């Protein structure tokens, strides 16, 4: 399917399938369905997302790079890829330019593959594959939970326990177009560890055991300590969402070596409101 839409990102096409906008022989099918000869496929795509592969000279903070992978530190407030509303100025546009600037062509030679994503409001580390094989290996590692991710968050109020586990199912409320704790939602688990606490706030390290949409924001609000800046879920207003993807560890898809990367939290994040 990827080859049929060369100007669209692989992550977007996976989202289309996951969000039930792909039919096979008149039936909705999800990722993992094995196609057979003569299957008739209908897929709904937003052609405005073709801007994803348009190179733009956007400054990037590169944390790691080799012939297979690129890891960048995304600032808060930047979209990972274009949408129907915001068509330019995204991380992916900057990555395409970074990887292809030496080629001197408007048509990307290296087509980066987003393996995972961060919310627009969330800052931190994000991994990009430079080729199809690397993308496939890293994506499979994410699915099998073989990649360790760490986030740093500043939440409201003092958390008494030094560490804990939040286990609560997450689902989408279609009528409100909102993700939250839902009795019939998917299994969702997050671990947390207190880094520093005060009478007003607590700085914590979070590990998402599962990878649901808005999982960490939802789970923090669920235990009564919403993330500062997450107004939608009861957090106080702030100039940014105080959630940062601060660490990631994985086995390199080519060398087999264990890669461990860290991104410190910006000072003004730690101070909070």
Q: Which residues are the active-site residues? A: 119
Alpha-carbon dihedral sign for residues 202, 205, 210, 214: positive
The C-alpha atoms of residue 52 and residue 95 are separated, in whole angstroms, by 10
Structure tokens at 164: 């804990």
CB 111 within 8 A of CB 100: no
| CA–CA distances in Å: residue 269 to residues 61, 154, 223, 227, 242 | 18, 8, 21, 12, 6
Read off the tokens for 18. 């996951």
CA angle 89, 112, 246 (to 5 degrees): 70
């Amino acid at each position: 399917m990827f080859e049929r839409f060369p100007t669209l990102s692989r992550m977007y096409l996976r989202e289309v399938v996951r969000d039930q906008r792909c039919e096979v022989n008149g039936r909705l099918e999800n990722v993992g369905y094995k196609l057979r000869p003569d299957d008739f496929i209908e897929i709904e795509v937003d052609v405005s997302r073709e801007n994803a592969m348009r190179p733009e000279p956007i400054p990037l903070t590169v944390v790691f790079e080799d012939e297979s992978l690129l890891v960048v530190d995304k600032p808060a407030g930047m979209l990972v890829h274009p949408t129907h509303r915001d068509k330019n100025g995204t991380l992916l546009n900057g990555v395409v330019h970074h990887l292809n600037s030496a080629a001197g062509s408007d048509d990307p030679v290296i087509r980066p593959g987003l393996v995972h994503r961060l919310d627009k409001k969330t800052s931190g580390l994000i991994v990009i594959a430079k080729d199809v094989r690397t993308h496939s290996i890293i994506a499979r590692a994410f699915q099998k939970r073989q990649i360790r991710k760490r986030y740093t968050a500043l939440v409201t109020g003092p958390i008494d326990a030094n560490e804990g586990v939040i286990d609560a199912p997450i689902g989408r409320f279609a009528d409100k177009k909102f993700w939250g704790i839902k009795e019939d939602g998917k299994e969702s688990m997050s671990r947390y560890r207190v880094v520093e606490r005060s009478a007003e706030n607590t700085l914590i390290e979070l590990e998402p055991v599962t990878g649901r949409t808005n999982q960490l924001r939802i789970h923090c609000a669920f235990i009564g300590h919403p993330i500062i800046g997450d107004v939608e879920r009861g957090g106080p207003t702030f100039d940014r969402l105080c959630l940062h993807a601060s660490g990631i560890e994985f086995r390199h898809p080519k060398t087999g070596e264990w890669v461990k990367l860290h991104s410190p939290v910006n000072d003004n994040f730690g101070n909070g409101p």
